[in-house]
Amino acid sequence: MGRRLGTEAIDRLWIFPPLVKGRREWGLVAASCFDDQDTRRVITARYSAERTGKGLFLDAQMAEEGSAPHDRLPRVMDGVVARSQLPTGSPRVVELAGGAEAWAELLDEYDAALFEEAVVGPPQAN
- pLDDT for the residue numbered 111: 74
Nearest to 45 by CA among 97, 91, 105: 91
Q: Does the structure show a pLDDT above 90 at 56?
A: no
- pLDDT for the residue numbered 68: 93
- pLDDT for the residue numbered 121: 55
Q: Which residues contact 66 (CB under 8 A, 6 or more apart)?
A: 41, 42
- pLDDT for the residue numbered 24: 92
Q: Span 57-75, mean pLDDT?
A: 91
Average pLDDT of the chain to the nearest whole number = 86
Predicted TM-score (pTM) of this structure: 0.83
How do the domains of the chain map onto residue ranges?
Answer: 2-120
CA of residue 53 relative to chain centroid, distance:
25
- pLDDT for the residue numbered 16: 92
Give the CA count within 13 Å in the CB-facing half-sphere of 37. 0
Give 72-91 pLDDT, tens digit per residue: 999 989 888 878 777 778 89
- pLDDT for the residue numbered 43: 96
Contact 98, 8 (CB under 8 A): yes
Give 20-52 pLDDT, tens digit per residue: 999 899 999 999 999 888 999 999 999 998 888
Q: Span 44-69, mean pLDDT?
A: 89
Distance, in Å, from the CA atom of 93 to the CA atom of 29, rounded to the nearest integer, reads: 10
- What does each C-alpha distance from 54 to 21, 22, 27, 118 come to in angstroms? 19, 16, 21, 10
The continuous run of DSSP H or E covering 81 comes out as helix 73-83
